[in-house]
Amino acid sequence: MAADDATPVSSPLTACLQESPIRPATEIGRACRYGDLVPVIEARELTKVYGDLRAVDAISFEVAPGESFGLLGPNGAGKSTTMRMIGGTSLRTSGTLLVNGLDPEIHGPEVRASLGVVPQTDNLDTELRVRDNLIMYGRYFGLPYSYLRPKAEELLEFAQLTEKATEKVDNLSGGMKRRLTIARALVNEPAVLLLDEPTTGLDPQARHILWDRLFRLKEEGVTLIVTTHFMDEAEQLCDRLIVMDHGSIVAEGSPAALIRQYSTREVLELRFGSDRNAALVDQLRGYADSIEALPDRVLLYTGDGEAALAHVRADGLDPVTSLVRRSSLEDVFLRLTGRSLID
């Protein structure tokens, strides 16, 4: 879609920029956000080669407006490289890629202006105070102070940092820094937010606060594109995801559909002690639809974990510990690749 075809949307930002030579930062993205049918992302056979390494190997996927879309996979799967190509900071080797209908390699500035980018490592300006990080970032976009001052207050509130507005960035906790980085990426009201490993390094409480903030953005119609190697994060945040491994897509679907397709409803985890786990695998096969032996435990895939456990015990096998749980994306990945997501 040509940028000029975008549906005009009234917002404080567009109002402020009416007289400005700078194009409203979000015009293109907002057209999608308000019901246009152009996919936010269309990747076809997207490939990135570094020397002999096919970091991203002919992947194809689409992201719909308003969707929360995940790229799930272990370290080195090619997730960040894909994000960089979407964000226009890495050139693709081959394939096609459209972001809001535009090729980021041809329309870099327009594409970048329609995106909010949250990189893996916070790159906040530690010389500046919390509020000023938001305002100065907006200035890089050429946004006027008249827009930025109220916007900064709104974003501080969103990030639950109003009371920290005049603090130095160094005084913030890891979770606060992440929320500030996200708030900063929202300064130009992007319709699409790219988040690269948003909660890596955060403690559980900080992760949950962050997920809550991201969920709010999703409710407002912002398209979220998230890379993660945490299956719980993908399950919490993503409507749909691709599972990546060695640069390729190994599965695609909603978390629930992937679990239905590739795993059983429940998993029985048994620990017999590290010297006995592997030795008992053959004996345990009869109790489950399938079985995975990990170094520290055996996973029995079954529709009814408690029933399987009762059978195991009735036959005189006495595990040191047992746990019945729902199948997760971790199980999907294990089934697809034979490896754990976090090695």
Binding residues for ligand ADP (CB under 6 A): 50, 53, 55, 73, 75-81, 227
- Do 154 and 180 touch, CB atoms closer than 8 A? no
Q: Tell me which residue has tokens 């399987």.
A: 308
- Closest to ligand ADP by CB, 181 or 327: 181
Per the DSSP assignment, residues forming a β-bridge with 240 are 69
Residue with smaller CB distance to ligand ADP, 78 or 190? 78
- Whole-angstrom Cα distance, residue 92 to residue 82? 9
Task: Decide whether 227 or 263 has the Cβ nearer to ligand ADP.
Answer: 227
Torsion of CA 98, 31, 215, 137, to 10 degrees: 80
- Residue 122 or 132 having the CB closest to ligand ADP: 122
The amino acid occupying position 189 is E
User: What's the min distance (Å) between Cβ of 156 and ligand ADP?
Assistant: 30
> Whole-number minimum distance, CB 77 to ligand ADP, in Å?
4
By beta-carbon proximity to ligand ADP, the closer residue of 154 and 252 is 252
CA distance 278 to 274: 8
| Shortest separation between residue 78's beta carbon and ligand ADP, angstroms | 5
Which DSSP category does 133 fall into? Answer: H
CB of 324 to ligand ADP, least distance (A): 32
Minimum distance between the CB of residue 53 and ligand ADP, rounded to whole angstroms? 6
Of 74 and 116, the one with the shorter C-beta distance to ligand ADP is: 74
Cα 43 from Cα 283, distance rounded (Å):
46
Q: Encoding tokens for residue 174?
A: 């890891």
- In angstroms, what is the minimal distance from the CB of 219 to ligand ADP? 27
- Three-state SS string over 75-129 comes to CCCCHHHHHHHHCCCCCCCEEEEEECCECCCCCHHHHHHHEEEECCCCCCCCCCE
